[in-house]
A and B are shown apart, each in its own frame.
Chain A
Amino acid sequence: MTSEYFSPRALRGLNRIGDMLIPGDAGLPSFSEYGCSEKVDDLVAYAPAEDIATLNTVLAVMAVAPTAVLRWLIERMTAVTPDQSGTIASLMRQLNFGLRGILFSLYYGEKAGSQYTGPDPLEVIGYQVRRVE
């Protein structure tokens, strides 16, 4: 699995944080089982270069950070409200938007990895859209 924008370690970090947020549940694959990080370039190719570089670093750190630290980070990141002031709160909100934005766009984006053979998450939640040309 390679990416033009993320290092191999950053991709490991993406799968690790992805599995903590999207661990899988009866019938639904975990983020890494689904294999969608293979297609991350589809999305990040259009993001500003500076943002990609920052995300690459953040994800690389996430690949090696202790699990307890990641859990703490996820708690903080998902609990922060728009009204909390200060640099830390603002950083947490950026992470929350940035990381979850990519993870959910991949997982709910029909982007199964080459090894995945199970049902698509969209199918499991019942999302079917008819497109009449």
Chain B
Amino acid sequence: MSETYDYIIVGSGTAGGLLAYNLTQAGARCLLIEAGKNFRKETFPRLEGDASAQMYWGGGFELSHDASMAFLRGKVVGGGSIVNQGLMDRFDEVAFDDWRAESGVDFFSLAAMAPYYDAVEAKLALHTFTAVERNQNAEKFVAGCEACGYEWKYLRRGQADCGLEEGNDCIGCLNGCHRDSKQSSMVVFVRPAEALGLELVTETEVEWVEPAGEVVRVHASQAGTAKTYQARRLILSGGALGTTAVLLRSGFKPRYPALGKYFASHPQFMFFAIYDEEINAHQGYFQTVNSKDPRFRPRGFKLENVFAGPASSALLFTGYGRAHHEIMRQYCHMACAEVAIRDENAGEIEVGKNGRLAIKKQLTDQDRRRMKDGTAVLKEILAASGARQVIESPLYFGLHLMGGSRMGTDPATSVVEPDYKLRGFDNIYVCDSSLYPNAPGINPALTVMALSQRLSEQLTRS
């Protein structure tokens, strides 16, 4: 058994990194436990296959129980913030109103969360894109939107200096930013916290936790060796799947009927458009624009202008044999966009006897309507942009994993109290995307950070 820390934080991602920094800076003795590896900008894998294998749970992706959907979640120091796109959006009133209505938590409002958004944004280098930064992929998306009369907007991203003027291409940043420009939790919070005395253990997976009076014990496995740590307070920040899995493996399900329920993932459906001219969507900034049309929000979808490396693109197409080669030869002539829906939180996370996750997640009738609705609009946009062919990928992906240990006032439908405490425990907290009451339909990371900022202030005040 190790020493007794003030705090153990499980998971070094978007939430965990920020909490570790704030608490360490306030003078607390903190241990941050991370299942993934500890890369530096010089050591991130360069190619997508290696990056998927080394930095994602499941060695690339995890499948739902019937393999109808694949989920992507980072397993690395920095968590999702290392592999994500770094887009930073505040929620709107619609998202918070729905959260408040479903959870009964009164601080879920733009006004109440504004100081925490402000505090987090002050710590990040944020950049809103401009016209000169659009690559040909973005040009096609914008041209299509304008031809059809749909509104679009420039994205805001957490980045310091991506070196575009020096000729850097940003697609590699999905494998971890080799310039430390992307404002990942590793760059902004974990490294500075280490300098302040944070203790970080990596490649160590927490299996279960045990409340033991004044302390909480954390049982983990490090390269097959059992390890036990203890602290006066524990914060679970393993993400929707990670935190929920730890709580399920710790035997809390009988106590919390809602544990594992209300899982959502903003399912995404990808479309590749092929043009006569070269697009080279893998060059320049990776993603600079998306849809902003006010008609889309009530219809529950948004359109993102994205792209993927060759290995991921190949997986997204159906053809094989010569048909596969024919498509891939046109890689440099492709633009890409996706429909992302605001899905119902009907998914469920379970843990089998072998400790492995079983994620039950199927599209509901409403989800399907939203997908079809968004698909029709996106096809119209891509056709109007001059595409000679549009390929629709038949595979569904979830990148924004939310819920499973949600926050609320009703014990029948929630697990975590509005003060972030696991219901019935004074020294176990949950703070990450697992406490999301439902899918906001907006990029989740900035709000994960704002919620973490709020908890840090609550803890440092006490």
Chain B 27-64 interface mask (CB, 8 Å, partner A; 1/0)? 00000000000000000001111101110001111010
In the complex with contacts A104-B315, A133-B178, A109-B49 CB distance below 8 A: yes
Give residues 83-133 of A contacting B (CB, 8 Å).
83, 85, 89-91, 93-94, 97, 100-101, 104-111, 121-122, 124-133
- Are the C-beta atoms of A108 and B332 separated by less than 8 Å? no
A residues less than 8 Å from B311 (CB atoms): 104-105, 107-109
- Are the C-beta atoms of B178 and A131 separated by less than 8 Å? yes
- Are the C-beta atoms of A45 and B53 separated by less than 8 Å? yes
Give the bracket for the number of chain A residues in contact with chain B: 35 or more
- Are the C-beta atoms of B53 and A43 separated by less than 8 Å? yes
- Are the C-beta atoms of A131 and B169 separated by less than 8 Å? yes
- Are the C-beta atoms of A23 and B178 separated by less than 8 Å? no
B residues less than 8 Å from A25 (CB atoms): 322, 325-326, 329
In the complex with contacts A93-B68, A105-B49, A125-B310, A28-B325 CB distance below 8 A: yes
A79 at interface (Cβ–Cβ under 8 A)?
Answer: yes
Q: Which one of B112-120, B160-168, B378-386 is at the A interface? A: B160-168
A residues less than 8 Å from B49 (CB atoms): 42-43, 104-106, 108-109, 111
- Are the C-beta atoms of B168 and A126 separated by less than 8 Å? no
A67 at interface (Cβ–Cβ under 8 A)?
Answer: no
- Are the C-beta atoms of A78 and B320 separated by less than 8 Å? yes
Q: Tell me, rounded to whole Å, the shortest Cβ–Cβ distance linking A116 to chain B.
A: 17
- Are the C-beta atoms of B322 and A23 separated by less than 8 Å? yes
Q: Tell me, rounded to whole Å, the shortest Cβ–Cβ distance linking B149 to chain A.
A: 32
- Are the C-beta atoms of B395 and A108 separated by less than 8 Å? no
In the complex with contacts A25-B322, A129-B283, A97-B47 CB distance below 8 A: no
Distance in angstroms between the alpha carbons of A33 and B395 in the assembled complex: 29
Give residues 303-329 of B contacting A (CB, 8 Å).
309-312, 314-315, 318-322, 324-326, 328-329
A residues less than 8 Å from B318 (CB atoms): 78-79
Across the interface, B58 reaches (CB within 8 A) one of A24, A48, A78, A130, namely A48
Q: Tell me, rounded to whole Å, the shortest Cβ–Cβ distance linking A19 to chain B.
A: 10
- Are the C-beta atoms of B356 and A50 separated by less than 8 Å? yes
- Are the C-beta atoms of B332 and A129 separated by less than 8 Å? no
Distance in angstroms between the alpha carbons of A51 and B58 in the assembled complex: 9
In the complex with contacts A104-B311, A105-B49, A132-B168 CB distance below 8 A: yes
Instruction: Give the one of A94, A109, A128 with max B CB within 10 A.
Output: A109
Smallest CB-CB separation from A75: which chain B residue? B320
- Are the C-beta atoms of B66 and A93 separated by less than 8 Å? yes
B101 at interface (Cβ–Cβ under 8 A)?
Answer: no
Distance in angstroms between the alpha carbons of A132 and B325 in the assembled complex: 30
A61 at interface (Cβ–Cβ under 8 A)?
Answer: no
Across the interface, A97 reaches (CB within 8 A) one of B67, B179, B324, namely B67
B430 at interface (Cβ–Cβ under 8 A)?
Answer: no
Q: Tell me, rounded to whole Å, the shortest Cβ–Cβ distance linking B77 to chain A.
A: 15
B residues less than 8 Å from A43 (CB atoms): 49-50, 52-53, 59-60
Instruction: Give the one of A46, A91, A97 with max B CB within 10 A.
Output: A46
Distance in angstroms between the alpha carbons of A91 and B58 in the assembled complex: 17
- Are the C-beta atoms of A46 and B395 separated by less than 8 Å? no
- Are the C-beta atoms of A132 and B163 separated by less than 8 Å? yes
A69 at interface (Cβ–Cβ under 8 A)?
Answer: no
A21 at interface (Cβ–Cβ under 8 A)?
Answer: yes
A residues less than 8 Å from B328 (CB atoms): 121, 125
Q: Tell me, rounded to whole Å, the shortest Cβ–Cβ distance linking A33 to chain B.
A: 13
- Are the C-beta atoms of A47 and B59 separated by less than 8 Å? yes
A58 at interface (Cβ–Cβ under 8 A)?
Answer: no
Chain A 13-36 interface mask (CB, 8 Å, partner B; 1/0)? 000000011111100100000000
- Are the C-beta atoms of A97 and B394 separated by less than 8 Å? no
A residues less than 8 Å from B58 (CB atoms): 47-48, 51
- Are the C-beta atoms of B60 and A47 separated by less than 8 Å? yes
- Are the C-beta atoms of B48 and A132 separated by less than 8 Å? no
Q: Tell me, rounded to whole Å, the shortest Cβ–Cβ distance linking B275 to chain A.
A: 14
B residues less than 8 Å from A125 (CB atoms): 310, 328-329, 331-332
A7 at interface (Cβ–Cβ under 8 A)?
Answer: no
B residues less than 8 Å from A100 (CB atoms): 314-315
B residues less than 8 Å from A85 (CB atoms): 66
B79 at interface (Cβ–Cβ under 8 A)?
Answer: no
Q: Tell me, rounded to whole Å, the shortest Cβ–Cβ distance linking A3 to chain B.
A: 14
In the complex with contacts A23-B322, A45-B53, A93-B67, A101-B61 CB distance below 8 A: yes
Across the A-B interface, the 9 shortest Cβ-Cβ residue pairs: A105-B49, A47-B59, A93-B67, A109-B49, A25-B325, A132-B168, A108-B310, A82-B68, A104-B314
13 contacts between A and B (CB under 8 A): A48-B59, A50-B354, A50-B356, A90-B68, A94-B67, A105-B49, A105-B60, A109-B311, A125-B310, A125-B331, A126-B331, A130-B167, A130-B169
- Chain A interface residues (CB < 8 Å from chain B): 20-25, 28, 42-48, 50-51, 74, 78-79, 81-83, 85, 89-91, 93-94, 97, 100-101, 104-111, 121-122, 124-133
Seed contacts A43-B50, A90-B66, A108-B49; 20 additional CB < 8 Å A-B pairs: A21-B321, A24-B325, A42-B53, A43-B53, A91-B67, A93-B67, A94-B67, A97-B63, A104-B315, A105-B48, A105-B49, A107-B314, A125-B310, A125-B331, A126-B280, A126-B332, A127-B282, A129-B282, A130-B168, A132-B163
